[in-house]
């Protein structure tokens, strides 16, 4: 083996795809002739007189281009080419077979062994230059593609890291949002409330909750913020603060009395107040639907106001379903909008059900929505379910209806059971 020139640093020949050439021929004269020609063109030239020696050179100093004789003792050019292709390397090596063979069958054998091109012996200098130029174009395109793939791979790795980081943040955000509904079941003595909250993604725009007004009166609220994801979840977090159950002084539905204790605003007044806050303080493009219910635990009387939210349903004795409510505008659409109160009365054992529109808009596997009739059929099947488990069973049935693919919208609800008059 003879190395007759020094490697030019990559930085100085960045545009050249072929820098190092390996000549493999058992004829020293042929190697000298080709080597002199290649050196004049500025290539670094390595020489080997056997396939075995050439393979060792390839392992130590991988060439960009190999010019190999076909007919050599021990390991011929085809065997060397196959062995060359089996080597692990960072860049593709271009392989030209030097041969006097011209039959098509022999050419096919050479291509199947991994050769890229052929040169007839004796080698013509102009033809050699042309074949190397063709190889250079191919290698340059291959290395450009490799570089682009590397950039894409690095970008994807960075995106995966960012996604994992964001996913972890969203998981924590989901925990925080779920913590807004601290008590999924609350016993009030003469009544009990069960709450359900399931987001279609990590976080969502639905919110349910309750707050104590007095020893005989409670408030229940169900909210559905437009859109999905983080921005909607941030709105629900703020709304949860306005209707806090743990800090009555921050709850806009309550008013402190001079001598202590609290009085309360009607549902329509609370919703109107929230509508004003959206336009004056929240600076958001989101709007939301809402159902607010005040329940008298002594009498079973329920005072409600509805702002674009689905109609609440009363589960009467005997399995009868009674839809109540007056509709109304969503909160945050029209400044100064008015909202109306309405009432219903629960008898002992009757239940009030408040659901977000994600329930009736749940699609089956064919894309057909559940609808109000489908909901009525589901509730008929679940009428014997206890209050503690009915909502979660309903969610399980919705998931099964969709084929287990997950629900496209947030799903939330409140089920309140009245147990009898105040004693």
In the predicted model, is pLDDT for residue 27 greater than 80? yes
Mean pLDDT of 151-162: 89
pLDDT of residue 173: 63
Residues 184 and 288 occupy one common structural domain: yes
Residues 94 and 196 occupy one common structural domain: no
Provide the domain count of the chain: 2
Tokens representing 396 are: 């399980």
C-alpha to C-alpha distances, 236 to 167, 181, 221, 348, 369, nearest whole angstrom: 20, 11, 12, 33, 26
Residues 141 and 193 occupy one common structural domain: no
**Sign, Cα dihedral of 200, 375, 414, 392:** negative
Please give the residue range of the domain that contains residue 342. Answer: 180-418
For residues 300 and 259, is the Cβ–Cβ distance under 8 A?
no
In the predicted model, is pLDDT for residue 3 greater than 60? no
- Residues 6+ away with beta carbon under 8 Å from 221: 207, 208, 209, 210, 243, 290, 291, 292, 293
Residues 54 and 191 occupy one common structural domain: no
DSSP string, 349-407: T-EEEEE-HHHHT-B-TTS-B-HHHHHHHHHHHTTTS-HHHHHHHHHHHHHHHTTTS--
Distance of CA 155 to the CA centre of its chain: 16
pLDDT band at 423 (very low <50, low <70, confident <90, very high): low
pLDDT of residue 170: 64
In a domain, 164, yes or no: no
Q: Quick: pLDDT tens for 104-139.
A: 777 788 888 899 998 888 888 889 899 999 999 998
Q: What is the Rg, in whole angstroms, of the alpha carbon atoms belonging to the chain?
A: 39
Q: Quick: pLDDT tens for 306-329.
A: 999 999 999 999 889 999 998 899
* Tally of residues, the chain: 423
Placement of tokens 């080997």 in the chain = 48
Residues 91 and 205 occupy one common structural domain: no
Q: CA 207 to CA 233: how far, in whole Å?
A: 9
Residues 202 and 128 occupy one common structural domain: no
Query: Which CATH number is 395's domain given?
Result: 3.60.40.10
pLDDT of residue 6: 46
Buried b (16+ CB within 10 A) or exposed e, 328-353: bbbbbeeeebebbbbebebeeebbbb
Residues 145 and 184 occupy one common structural domain: no
Residues 139 and 191 occupy one common structural domain: no
In a domain, 68, yes or no: yes
Distance of CA 100 to the CA centre of its chain: 60
In a domain, 166, yes or no: no
Angle between helices 371-381 and 387-401 (to 10 degrees): 130
For residues 249 and 260, is the Cβ–Cβ distance under 8 A?
no
pTM of the model: 0.66
Average pLDDT of every residue of the chain: 88
Q: CA 295 to CA 62: how far, in whole Å?
A: 83
């Amino acid at each position: 083996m003879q190395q007759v020139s020094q490697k030019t640093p990559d930085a100085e020949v960045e545009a050249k795809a072929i820098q190092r050439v390996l000549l493999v021929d058992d004829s020293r004269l042929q190697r000298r002739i080709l080597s002199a020609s290649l050196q004049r063109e500025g290539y670094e030239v390595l020489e080997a007189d056997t396939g075995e020696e050439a393979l060792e050179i390839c392992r130590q100093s991988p060439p960009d281009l190999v010019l190999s004789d076909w007919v050599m003792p021990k390991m011929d050019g085809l065997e060397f080419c196959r062995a060359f292709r089996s080597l692990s390397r960072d860049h593709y090596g271009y392989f030209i077979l030097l041969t006097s063979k011209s039959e098509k069958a022999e050419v096919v054998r050479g291509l199947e062994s991994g050769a890229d091109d052929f040169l007839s012996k004796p080698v013509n200098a102009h033809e050699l230059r042309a074949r190397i130029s063709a190889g250079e174009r191919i290698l340059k395109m291959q290395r450009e593609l490799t570089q682009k793939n590397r950039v894409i791979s690095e970008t994807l790795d960075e995106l995966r890291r960012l996604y994992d980081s964001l996913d972890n943040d969203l998981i924590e955000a989901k925990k925080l949002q779920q913590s807004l509904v601290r008590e999924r079941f609350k016993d009030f003595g003469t009544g009990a409330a069960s709450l359900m909250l399931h987001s279609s993604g990590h976080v969502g725009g639905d919110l349910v909750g309750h707050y104590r007004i007095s020893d005989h009166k409670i408030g229940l609220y169900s909210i559905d913020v437009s859109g999905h994801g983080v921005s909607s979840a941030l709105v629900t977090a703020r709304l949860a603060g306005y209707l806090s159950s743990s800090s009555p002084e921050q709850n806009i539905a309550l008013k402190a009395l001079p001598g202590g204790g609290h009085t309360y605003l009607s549902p329509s007044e609370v919703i109107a107040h929230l509508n004003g806050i959206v336009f004056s303080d929240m600076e958001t493009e989101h709007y939301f639907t809402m159902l607010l219910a005040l329940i008298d635990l002594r009498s079973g009387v329920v005072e409600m106001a509805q702002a674009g939210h689905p109609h609440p349903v009363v589960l009467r004795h005997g399995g009868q379903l009674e839809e109540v409510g007056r509709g109304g505008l969503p909160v945050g659409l029209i400044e100064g909008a008015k909202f109306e109160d309405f009432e219903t009365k629960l008898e002992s054992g009757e239940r009030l059900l408040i659901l977000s529109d994600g329930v009736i808009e749940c699609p089956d596997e064919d894309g057909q929505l559940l609808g109000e009739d489908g909901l009525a059929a589901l509730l008929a099947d679940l009428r014997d379910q206890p209050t503690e488990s009915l909502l979660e069973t309903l969610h399980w049935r919705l998931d099964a209806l969709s084929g287990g693919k997950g629900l496209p919208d947030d799903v939330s609800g409140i089920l309140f059971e009245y147990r009898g008059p105040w004693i």
